A and B are shown apart, each in its own frame.
Chain A
Amino acid sequence: MARAEVQSLRDCLEGATRERFFRDRAATVRVDDLKRGTSLGGRLADFAGKSVLLAAGSQLATALALIELDGIARRLVILPPDVDPGHLGALSAAAEADAVVIDGASVPSEAFDLPLRVICTPNIVPGGERPLARLPTEWLLLTSGTTGVPKMVVHSLASLTAPILPVRQADYPVVWATFYDIRRYGGLQIFLRASLGGASLVLSSTGEPIADHLARLAEHGVTHLTGTPSHWRRALMSPAIGKIAPRYVRLSGEIADQAILDNLRHVFAPAGVGHAYASTEAGVAFEVNDGLAGFPAAFVEQPRNGVELKVVDGSLRIRSPRTASRYVGDTPAPLADGDGFVDTGDIVERHGERYRYVGRRGGIINIGGLKVHPEEVEAVINRHPRVRMSLVRPKRSPITGSIVIADVVLNESACAGEALPQVESDILKLCRDALPRHKVPAAIAFVPALDVAATGKLARRHG
Chain B
Amino acid sequence: MTIKLTIMDQMAQIAREHGKTLAPLREDLVLLDSGLDSLGFAVLVARLEDKLGIDPFTSAEDAMFPVTFGDFVKVYENGAR
Residues 413 to 447 of chain A near chain B (Cβ within 8 Å): 428, 432, 437-438, 440, 442-443
Most chain A beta-carbon neighbours within 10 Å: one of B39, B41, B47, B58? B39
Is the pair B50, A399 in contact by a Cβ cutoff of 8 Å? no
Residue B43 CB within 8 A of the other chain: yes
Q: Are A233 and B65 in contact (CB under 8 A)?
A: yes
Minimum C-beta distance from B49 to chain A (A) = 8
Q: Is B42 an interface residue (CB 8 A)?
A: yes
| Best-surrounded residue of B18, B32, B62 (most CB of chain A within 10 A) | B32
| Residue ID in chain B nearest A395 by CB atoms | B46
Q: Which residues of A contact B55 (CB under 8 A)?
A: 398
For B18, list chain A residues within 8 Å (CB): 437
Whether the pair A396, B58 counts as a contact (CB closer than 8 A) is: yes
Question: With an 8 A cutoff between CB atoms, is A367 at the interface?
Answer: yes
Closest chain A residue, CB of each to CB of B41: A399
Minimum CB–CB distance from A368 to chain B (whole Å) comes to 6
A398 to B57, CA, bound (A): 6
Residue A289 at the chain B interface, CB threshold 8 Å: no
CB of B65 within 8 A of CB of A237, answer yes
Q: Within the assembled complex, what's the spacing in Å between the Cα atoms of A437 and B42?
A: 12
With A259-B62, A398-B45, A403-B46 in contact, is A238–B67 under 8 Å at CB?
yes
Q: Is the CB of B62 within 8 A of A442?
A: no
Q: Closest A-chain residue to B37, C-beta based?
A: A234
Q: Is B2 an interface residue (CB 8 A)?
A: no
Query: How would residues 43 to 81 of chain B score, 1 for a CB under 8 Å from any chain A CB and 0 otherwise?
Result: 101110010000101100111111100000000000000
> In the complex where A442-B42, A443-B50 touch, is A262 in contact with B30 (Cβ < 8 A)?
no
Contact B64–A263 (Cβ < 8 Å)? yes
CB-CB under 8 A from B43, the residues of chain A are 403, 442
Q: Considering the chains assembled together, what is the distance between the CA atoms of A397 and B38 in angstroms?
A: 11
- Whether A259 contacts B46 in the complex (CB less than 8 A), given A233-B38, A237-B31, comes out as no
Is A405 interfacial (CB 8 A cutoff)? yes
| Alpha-carbon separation in the docked complex, A211 to B57 (Å) | 23
Residue of B nearest to A432 (CB): B17
Q: Answer yes or no: A239 CB below 8 A from chain B CBs.
A: yes
**Is the beta-carbon distance between B45 and A262 smaller than 8 angstroms?**
no
Tell me the minimal C-beta distance from A405 to chain B in angstroms: 7
Nearest B residue to A241 by beta-carbon distance? Answer: B67
- In the bound assembly, the distance between CA atoms of A411 and B21 in angstroms comes to 37
Q: Are A237 and B67 in contact (CB under 8 A)?
A: yes
**CB closest residue in chain B, given A399:** B42
Judge whether B39 and A438 touch: CB under 8 Å. yes
Q: Mark A223-250, 1 if CB is under 8 A from B, else 0.
A: 0000000100110111100000000000
Which has the most chain A C-beta neighbours within 10 Å: B43, B58, B64? B43
A154-183 vs B, CB cutoff 8 Å, 1 = contact: the mask equals: 000000000000000000000000000000
Contact across chains for B65 and A258 when beta carbons are under 8 A apart? no
Interface pair B32/A237, CB less than 8 Å apart: yes
CB of B32 within 8 A of CB of A397, answer no
Q: Is the CB of A239 within 8 A of B50?
A: no
Decide if A443 touches B46 in the complex (CB within 8 Å).
yes
What would be 17 A-B contacts, judged by CB atoms less than 8 Å apart? A209-B32, A230-B38, A237-B31, A237-B65, A258-B61, A259-B57, A259-B61, A266-B64, A368-B38, A397-B46, A398-B63, A399-B42, A399-B65, A400-B42, A432-B17, A443-B46, A443-B50
Given A398-B58, A400-B38, A437-B18, output 14 extra A-B contacts at Cβ < 8 Å.
A209-B32, A233-B65, A238-B30, A259-B62, A262-B61, A263-B64, A367-B39, A368-B39, A398-B55, A400-B39, A437-B39, A442-B43, A442-B46, A443-B50
